[in-house]
Amino acid sequence: MKQQFIAALIGAAIAFPVAAQAEGYFVGGNVGRSEQKLSIDGLGSIKDTGTGFKLNGGYQFNANYGVEVAYVNLGKAEVNAQGTYAKSEPQTVFVAATGTLPLNNEFSLFGKVGVAQNHVKLSVRESGFSGSDSENRTTAVFGIGAAYHLNKNVSFVAEYENFGKIGNGDGASLKADLLSVGVRYSF
């Protein structure tokens, strides 16, 4: 009985700093490499990378579960080949449930699953033709990452987020993801 009581006290002492660090509201920002892959029936696919950023906030209910809301700008993807110029500029807003696995007081791993509302603006220029269009599409979003907790309030994160097929129509589809690093501030 005495050994179980001591083990429970040690467990609580180890878990308390992680839980105290994890609960409450947070805001943050990330910057990183975005990738867009345009697939066109009969013509194959083209990838382009750029700089994307994310502004996010949320609430951590406890050391393991939370919710995140974010705005993500996935930068620009440009293709200039055989007299045709095309540019896509996707943005997304998402809400996701998050799960966190604290490894110790400083490090944790996390994952997220949610719903994204995507907006893609596409511009095309060919000889004698110029046009633009935009599309809104709802997709699933998922992500994985790791965090280093500098102190109770400040954390550094590295994460990968996939937004799926953010544009689809007329024999073409556009997929996007973001690999980024950032800072979070917890209240």
Instruction: Report DSSP state, residue 171.
Output: T
**Pairwise CA distance, residues 40 & 155, whole Å:** 41
| pLDDT over 50 (residue 12) | no
Which range of residues forms the domain containing residue 30?
Answer: 2-186
> Over pLDDT 90: what percentage of the chain?
56
Which pLDDT score is estimated for 178? 96
- pLDDT range class, residue 18, cuts 50, 70, 90: very low
| pLDDT over 90 (residue 126) | no
For residues 122-146, average pLDDT: 87
Mean pLDDT, the chain, rounded, equals 85
Which pLDDT score is estimated for 15? 45
**How many structural domains does the chain have?**
1
126: phi then psi, degrees, rounded to nearest 5: -130, 170
Residue 132 belongs to domain with CATH number: 2.40.160.20
Residue matched to tokens 């309030």: 153
- What value does the CA radius of gyration of the chain take, rounded to a whole number of Å? 21
What's the pLDDT tens digit per position in 40-97?
776 667 788 889 999 999 999 999 999 999 999 999 887 776 777 778 889 999 999 9
**Pairwise CA distance, residues 8 & 88, whole Å:** 56
